[in-house]
Structure 1
Amino acid sequence: MSSDRPKLRSLLFVPGNKVEWLAKAEAAGADAAVLDLEDAVPESGKAAARERVAEAVANASGTMAIFVRINPLDRWAAAEDLRAVARPGLAGVLLPKTRGPEDVVLADRMLTWCEREHGMPEGRVALVPLLESAAALRGAYEIGRAAPRVAYLGAVTGKGGDVERAVGYRWSPSGTETLELRSRVLLDVRAAGVPCPVAGLWTAIGDLDGLRAFAEQNRSLGYEGMLAIHPSHVPVINEVFSPGPEELDRYARLVAAVEAAQARGAGAIVFEGEMVDEAMAARARAALRDHAPPR
């Protein structure tokens, strides 16, 4: 099931007590909305927000995927959150404050019970463990392998967040202080076989140039999407994590050139000044498949 997860370029946080903002997320073009029951909702409003989020999940329609960030597993609220929201219409669950593989195993088991209760295929709901401590970041490989439903896992290094506090770096717009961290976590996630890794966050709402630079850096590393906190960020993120027409045209020409050479019995060839072979063609085919225009 995990390998069948759709690629998501943009996952936009929406407060769990503001479910009416889902319309704004969809209008912005977000591939997914993350209804937040953790940090975005005060303690006194969590029960009411849970009911509203459950209703929004049950009524979900359209192409935008719906995720929910539940409360940490060290509280009963997490079990109550899962029981309320894990039903048809839910694409995935973000698991905050993940301590290690044991948290993933427990969340996986609870989600399986919920799926059985609602007659859903087991493993349908994706699980996104959030790596917010030094121990979790160091254990990204084991966390990624802890359950087949784990997807969209990556390093989230927003300014002033849990990761900055846990690791102790000083955040900068260039991202140089987290470049190695994001790279290592991505390698662990890829080695664990986790599909569609995503990064984040960019907290400066009005700095779209900075957002674009950070998103391009993440894409260059190998991430396939980003978490976002404001609708204005979604178009930039979607553009960065989508190949443009020129890039797709080049992929198509490359595939055609390699296949023509293979028909002649050749392997590696010179294509537009570069040496290419079947490995490059396979990469190009994957990009064309993932980003084919709708018919």
Structure 2
Amino acid sequence: MSSERPRLRSLLFVPGTRIDWLAKARAAGADAAILDLEDAVPPAGKAAACARVAEAVGRATDDMAVFVRINPLDGWAGAEELRAVAHPRLAGVILPKVNGPADVRLADRLLSWCERELGLPAGHIALVPLLESATALREAYTIARAAPRVAYIGAVTGKGGDVERAIGYRWSPEGTETLALRSRVLLDVRAAGVPCPVAGLWTSVADLDGLRAFAEQNRALGYEGMMAIHPSHVPVINEVFSPGAEELARCRRMIAAVEEAQARGAGAITFEGDMVDEAMAARARAVLRDATPER
């Protein structure tokens, strides 16, 4: 089931107390909204927010995937939230404060029970573990392999957040201090077979140029999308993680050139100054296959 997850370029956090902001996420063109029941909701308001989030999930439509970030599964509260929001229209659950594969296996079992109650196929609801501690980042590979429903996992290295505190780096707009970390986590989740890894976050709301540079760096590493905290970030992220018209046109030209050469019995050929062969053509076909239509 996990390999069939749709590619998501932008996943926008929406406070669980502000369900009405889903309309803003939709208008911004977000591929997914993450309704947040953890950091965005004070303790006294979590029960009421959970009820509103569950209602919003039930009203979700196909134009934007809806995820829910529950509270950690270190007590009954998180498990009750998970059961409350489980629904055929729920795209996935964001699991915070993951310490290791045991946390993922527990969430997987709980989701399996929910799916059985709802008459859903096993693995219908995706699971996105958040790697927010040094231990979790170190165990990215085993966490990613802990359940087939794991998807969209990656390194989220926002300014001043849990990861910066856990690792001790000093955040910079250039991202050089987290480049190796984001690269290693990406390699781990790719090796684990997890589809559609996403990165994040960019917390400077008004600095769209900085956001673009950071998103381009993540795309160059191999990430397929980013989590976001503000609607104004969504169009930039969508643009960066979507192939441009010239890239798509070059892919088509390359495929045609390689296939024409193969018909002549040739292997590698020179194409627009580069040496290319079937491996490059296969990559070009993947780009065309995964290209996301503009919303």
> 2-side partners of 1:77 and 1:227: how far apart?
25
Residue 92, structure 1, aligned to residue 119, structure 2? no
- 1-structure distance, mates of 2:61, 2:178: 37
SS in 1 for 2:227: strand
Matching residue of 2:204: 204
- In structure 2, the partner of 1:113 is 113
* Residue 235 of structure 1: how far off its partner (Å): 0.2
Specify the code of the residue in structure 1 equivalent to 2:241: F
Mapped partners of 1:30, 1:114: distance in 2: 27
| Aligned-partner Cα distance in 1 for 2:92–2:174 | 31
Alignment-derived partner of residue 6 in structure 1: 6
CA drift of 1:291 comes to 1.1
What is the match of residue 17 of structure 1? Answer: 17
- TM-superposed CA distance for 1:292, in Å, is 6.2
Matched, 1:226 2:234: no
Aligned residue type for 1:239: E
Q: Deviations over 1:35-69 (max 9, x none)?
A: 00000000010000000000001111131000000
Q: TM-score, normalised by structure 1?
A: 0.99
Residue equivalent to 2:74:
74
- Which residue does the alignment assign to 1:54? 54
Task: Tell whether the 8 Å contact from 2:34 to 2:67 is kept in structure 1 after alignment.
Answer: yes
> SS state of the match for residue 23, structure 1?
helix
**Conserved? CA contact 2:196–2:224, under 8 Å:** yes
In 1, are the aligned partners of 2:219 and 2:240 still within 8 Å (CA)? Answer: yes
Question: Which amino acid is 2:252 matched to?
Answer: A
Match of 1:103 in 2: 103
Q: Secondary structure at the match of 1:177?
A: coil
Counterpart position of 2:42: 42
Q: Give me the identity figure in percent.
A: 79
* Separation in structure 1 between the aligned mates of residue 34 and residue 85 of structure 2, nearest angstrom: 12
Counterpart of 1:97 in structure 2: which amino acid?
K
Alignment-mate amino acid for residue 55 of structure 2? E
Which residue is equivalent to 1:128?
128
Alpha-carbon distance in 2 for matches of 1:144, 1:267: 37
Whether 1:160 aligns to 2:160 is yes
Give CA-to-partner distance per residue, 1:4-27, whole Å, 9 cap, x none: 000000000000111110000000
Q: 1:292 & 1:178 partners in 2: Cα distance?
A: 28
Instruction: Provide the rounded CA distance (Å) in 2 between the counterparts of 1:293 and 1:77.
Output: 39
SS at match of 1:176: coil
Q: Is residue 2:35 matched to residue 1:27?
A: no
Q: Distance in 1 between matches of 2:49 and 2:263?
A: 60
Aligned counterparts of 1:121 and 1:139: Cα–Cα separation in 2: 28
C-alpha RMSD of matched pairs (Å): 0.8
Q: Distance in 2 between matches of 1:292 and 1:102?
A: 34
Classify the secondary structure of the residue corresponding to 1:147.
coil
SS state of the match for residue 50, structure 2? helix
8 Å Cα contact 2:242-2:292 kept in structure 1: no
Is the Cα–Cα contact under 8 Å of residues 100 and 135 in structure 2 kept in the other structure? yes
- Amino acid across the alignment from 2:204: A
Structure 1 residue 75, shift from structure 2 partner: 2.2
Q: Which runs of 5+ in 2 are unaligned?
A: none
**Is the contact between residue 104 and residue 143 of structure 2 (CA under 8 Å) also seen in structure 1?**
yes
Per the normalisation by structure 2, the TM-score is: 0.99
How far apart, CA to CA, are the structure 2 residues paired with 1:29 and 1:158?
A: 22
Instruction: Give every structure 1 segment of 4 or more consecutive aligned residues whose post-TM-superposition deviation is greater than 6 Å.
Output: none
Query: Residues 225 and 207 of structure 1: is their aligned pair in 2 closer, same or farther, counting only changes over 3 Å?
Result: same
Aligned twin of 1:215: 215
Shift in Å, 1:293:
4.6
* Map of 2:65 onto structure 1: 65
Instruction: State the number of aligned residues.
Output: 294
How far apart, in 1, do the equivalents of 2:159 and 2:77 lie?
A: 27
